[in-house]
Structure 1
Amino acid sequence: MADTTIKVDPSVRDRLQELARERGMSMRDFVAELAGATPTKEELRKRYEETRAYVEEHFLGRPYTDEDQKAGEKLWADLEAGRIGEVQ
């Protein structure tokens, strides 16, 4: 495999090196892992569609709606705020 050079600010280079070192990796391997683990917009869209189809089939038994999304966002906000699971 041929190498190439990526030019970044020294602060970015230093951070990448630190992150790689903490993981016991070379910067080359860390950048490759980071690139492989970061989804593209198309991969995110596909994952969303697959997840939506799974939820519709296995949990809802009907199409996922905007109301479902709003309810999920409210539930998540309540969980983050500690409003779910409190003893009253």
Structure 2
Amino acid sequence: MTVTLERPEVRPAVVYHGYTRAMADTTIKVDPAVRDRLLELARERGMTMRDLVAQLAEATPTQEELRQRYEATKAYVEEHFLGRPYTEEDEKAGEKLWADVVAGRIGEVQ
């Protein structure tokens, strides 16, 4: 892509070179259906596919980030709710509670 400016004192080659130096493009090969979906999602949000992919990458945590969140949450629960270390029994009880909520066995207030 070449940009032509109306101001004669700025050469288009300089503008193009400055742009490409600041923005490195990488090609990601995806199936046409994936490409079309990304394009549709980007259009719905009023953004480019480049911006959509950047937003998705920024919003998706890595395994290390998830581990750090888990450790921080665990430390908070231990300090503010349990007053003791979080145990495997606590984890099992939490999983059972969540399963009961999802199944509709608890959670309604009469």
TM-score (norm: length of structure 2):
0.74
Aligned-pair RMSD on alpha carbons?
1.4
- Structure 2 match to 1:82: 104
Percent identical among aligned pairs is 84
In structure 2, what is the Cα distance between the partners aligned to 1:87 and 1:43? 36
Deviation track 1:7-66 (CA, whole Å, cap 9, x = no partner) reads 111011111111112222211100000000111111111111111000000110000011
Q: Which runs of 5+ in 2 are unaligned?
A: 1-22
Q: Determine if the alignment matches structure 1 residue 19 to structure 2 residue 41.
A: yes
Runs of 4+ residues deviating >4 angstroms: none
**More relative contact order in 1 or in 2 (CA 8 Å, sep 6+)?**
1
In structure 1, what is the Cα distance between the partners aligned to 2:64 and 2:94? 23
Aligned residues: 88
Structure 1 residue 81: deviation in Å?
A: 1.0
2:77 is aligned, of 55, 62, 70, to 55
Q: Which runs of 5+ in 1 are unaligned?
A: none
